[in-house]
Amino acid sequence: MQRMRNQVLIIVLFVFFYTSGLKAQGPDGRPEMPANGKISGKIADSQGIPVEYASVSLVSMRDSAIIAGAISDAQGIFKMSDLKLGVYKLKIKVLGFETKEIGPIYLMPKGRGKGEGIEQDFSNITLGSTDIQIDDVTVVGEKSRIQYKIDKKVINAGADINSASGTAVDILENTPSVSVDIEGNVSLRGS
């Protein structure tokens, strides 16, 4: 009886230690890193004005996969939390500014390898502006179909698509407040 208890105890201990070792590994067989890292920062232009709506991506250095992302607020501040520990780079993009990459970032406990800590603050990220060169620009203006004046309403028939191929009756049928019956009689607001 005592021998059977010892065997059951050994089996239970073996299963416990075997399964606890499996939980610590990721899908690729490597040890699973804890998700307690934090990255924050402040983005500004070359004049020190905060940059709003900048897209900030955290990219893995191992396989270039995007791990997390954030958008800067009105003060240019972004925050990311619950990040798995590892080696990353930050990629910052916003329209009208140069794309900036910061890295490698070692999000690891201090004292391990090149660890810079699990909480990192990039308080002063400066983006340079870019100029976009375009060849030709054509600006086309159109009159509004309906213009309201102080004492009248003007309908521009040339702004109506049907005016190019239709008749005057077709234009009047598409005019607000004007109705045309089947015989071609025109009435304005029922009179």
pLDDT tens-digit series, residues 46-64: 899 999 999 999 999 888 8
Q: Provide the pLDDT confidence category of residue 9 given band limits of 50, 70 and 90.
A: low
C-alpha span between 83 and 8 (Å, rounded) = 41
Nearest 5°: CA angle at 84, between 105 and 26? 125
Cα dihedral sign, 160-162-166-171: negative
pLDDT of residue 73: 93
What is 33-127's CATH topology?
Answer: Immunoglobulin-like (2.60.40)
Q: What is the mean pLDDT of the chain?
A: 79
Place of tokens 């699973």: 32
* Identity of residue 35: A
Which amino acid is it at 163? Answer: S
Give me the pLDDT at residue 51, please: 92
Q: Using a cut of 0.85, tell me whether the model's pTM lies above it.
A: no
Residues 50, 140: Cα–Cα separation, whole Å: 35
**What's the whole-number mean pLDDT along residues 2-28?**
62
Residue-wise pLDDT tens digits, 94-128: 988 999 999 888 888 775 555 577 888 888 899 98
The length of the chain is 191
pLDDT in the model for residue 178: 76
